[in-house]
Chains A and B, each alone.
Chain A
């Protein structure tokens, strides 16, 4: 199991979704990914993309104006 973190700061949706999608393609089942974003739209869009594609959102939070989402690849 590996863990990756990517910065998607300044990108506006759907680019954070696309970058998340493309990164997950390179990961294995069970791996985890943390994405750090500044577009509040990700709090809706990335979980929606995960639901559609069967991945699990482990945690979402806002820290210092940044939107952080932890995902487990299934």
Chain B
């Protein structure tokens, strides 16, 4: 009796990894999924924070895909290790702060470690040559295989016929003829295959699944590093960059202004880490202050806060300023007019 071969699939929650996994399962291979959480994954977070998104289904797409496929999914926290990938990427960044090639190499390497520790035989990804401008090109495919250490145990079922045969194909664990030769940015072959496999519902991410591909988010991250004088971050920084308006009126401090109740509720969990402000007699947003502020800075921040409250047309507005220990002081400020806040304060 031949040995049951086992593959670990990188499951992003998108269509490609779903199809790649299904194609290998159809060849009798036992597949389990692995999903890495860097802290920058778009998955879930903003839906959980922002009240306006409450109508959207709060499903985690990687879990959903695993359930559709009937496979186990292992979600791995790589937040700490990922810092070195983001801070110092060997292959550089994409259009924004996205180190896509280094990220893929890192994840395949982590999958290889998992494969070895758990007695699996090879790794599957949903990569397609030409699908992504940085990490999925003909040139990068062997780079990922070599630098991750996965070498010929890395199989890309959707474009395998365009690449040299891997170990699972050469050893006959997998029939290469039943794999695919997709290439380019068109999604039509994947959609046709999804139909063939009977998948009618699948995630269609617009703009990727990582906040680092987002220009606005990347600008805020670069601003954070510049203001602190160090290219480092904690998970709380990553989370707070996803919410609110970020306004930096002085180099040494910035305001995070909640845009709606969901964000305010989320940000209120950070009142023990940051000085917070709100208007006392008018409805208005919660503000967190990041940096070291003197009395003049607090007054300036209060004027900005008041501009976003319902007292914006008043001559003076009272603002509560609460420090991290919960000690409160009340200040009176003149709200900025809409056009008085310089554009370049907005990050």
Contacts and interface: CB of A to CB of B under 8 A. Distances in A.
A17 interface: yes
A47 B71 CA distance: 15
A66 B59 CA distance: 18
Interface residues of B, number: 27
Interface string B62-85: 111011000111111100000000
A30 interface: no
Nearest to B58: A41
A40 B59 CA distance: 10
Contact of B49 (A12, A43, A45): A12
Interface residues of A, number: 21
Main SS class of interface, B: mixed
A12 B44 contact: yes
B37 interface: yes
A15 B58 contact: no
B45 interface: yes
B127 interface: no
B74 A21 contact: yes
A10 interface: yes
A45 B63 contact: yes
Contacts of B74: 21
Contacts, number: 70
Contact of A13 (B48, B64, B66, B76): B48
A6 interface: no
Given A41-B47, A51-B67, A15 B77 contact: yes
Contact of A48 (B48, B63, B71): B63
Given A39-B48, A41-B47, A13 B60 contact: yes
A44 B73 contact: no
Interface in B64-110: 64, 66-67, 71-77
Contact of A41 (B37, B60, B67, B72): B60
Contacts of A22: 77
Interface in A1-35: 10, 12-15, 17-18, 21-22
Return the 3 tightest CB-CB contacts between A and B, nearest first.
A41-B58, A13-B44, A48-B63
Interface of A: 10, 12-15, 17-18, 21-22, 38-41, 43-45, 48-49, 51-53
